Structure 1
Amino acid sequence: MTDPILQKSVYLKADPQTVWDHLTQATLMGKWFHPATEDLSQGADFTLTDGPGGDRMCWGRVEDMQPTHYMRWSFTVGPLDGVMTTVEWRLEPAIGGTRLSLEHSGLPAGADGFGLVLALDKGWHGFLLRMHEL
């Protein structure tokens, strides 16, 4: 049995720069995900909250940024007890917009962690659906 990896892709009616801005700018992240305390930048730690000025929901570090094409985070949420996972974002130009793909790896394996994997899967699904509102 392999470790779980979440993979999702959506087609968005927005150009790659607009999608990139929504992935990296604090003021825009809250429109589809959790608000960031500051813009995301290469090599910097980030914190996402449950609302403007709210409690920390998830956090990590931006490990790699290739503007408008690719970004990789170390990433954790409270139920992971500080264990870091990896989130990779890929943006590809598509006719009429952008294909945005997400891969979330390093997730807990085994029956004990499966509930968290299901919750993250559902969460990413909902967050990416919100991207259609760009």
Structure 2
Amino acid sequence: MTLDMTLDMTLENQMTDTAIQKSVYLPAPKTRVWDFLTKADLLGNWFHPAQEDLAEGEDYLLTSQKDGDRMCWGRVEEMSPHDYMKWSFTVGPMEGVMTTVEWRLADAPGGTKLTLEHSGLPNNAEAYGLVLALDKGWHGFLLNLHDMS
């Protein structure tokens, strides 16, 4: 492989096991947190609005609250209500390359521990800005969940 061929590799060929992991403790039962992760009318309160409730085996599209542009999309790969959910996930800068987002809910004294793992992210210097942006975004969105009402 020549240097030129290496530089022309697509983002998809550069996806690896790089992952973002975050946990947040929420003063709500798992059933309530689950609703905020899956219900169309609640997703927009902390993340991006959905056109319909998330369902296993179904595609999803989350849009901008400001102008309705698509923000992220994929498929709900697996759901175990109130405990676990797995999405395929992409955003515009990823040019359709899918990554994986997993949500784990666990009982905690006084509420729920919610853990997010976003894996399959690029592992190269050129795409590090994307990883940083996703990390910052997830941080802010998870903090928004503290305002569940």
Q: TM-score, normalised by structure 2?
A: 0.87
Correspondences of 1:22-41 after superposition (within 5 Å): 22-41=36-55
Flag as ranges the 4+ runs of structure 1 deviating above 2 A.
none
Distance 1:90 1:52 in 2: 29
5+ long unaligned stretches in structure 2: 1-15
Distance 1:56 1:98 in 2: 30
Work out whether residues 35 and 52 of structure 1, in 8 Å CA contact, stay in contact via their aligned partners in 2.
no
Q: 2:93 aligns with which of 76, 79, 104?
A: 79
Match of 1:117 in 2: 131
Q: TM-score, normalised by structure 1?
A: 0.96
Q: 2:80 aligns with which of 60, 66, 70?
A: 66
Decide whether aligned partners of structure 1 residues 70 and 108 sit closer, same or farther in structure 2, where only a CA change above 3 A counts. Answer: same
Correspondences of 1:1-134 after superposition (within 5 Å): 3-51=17-65, 54-134=68-148
More helix by share: 2
Report the alpha carbon displacement of residue 53 of structure 1 after superposing the two structures with TM: 6.9
Q: CA RMSD in A?
A: 1.2
Bigger shift: 63-72 or 3-12? 3-12
Work out whether residues 26 and 40 of structure 1, in 8 Å CA contact, stay in contact via their aligned partners in 2.
yes
Distance 1:100 1:6 in 2: 14
Report the alpha carbon displacement of residue 52 of structure 1 after superposing the two structures with TM: 7.3
Taking every aligned residue pair, what percent have the same amino acid on both sides? Answer: 67
Deviations along 1:52-85, whole A, 9 cap, x unmatched? 7711110000000000000000000000000000
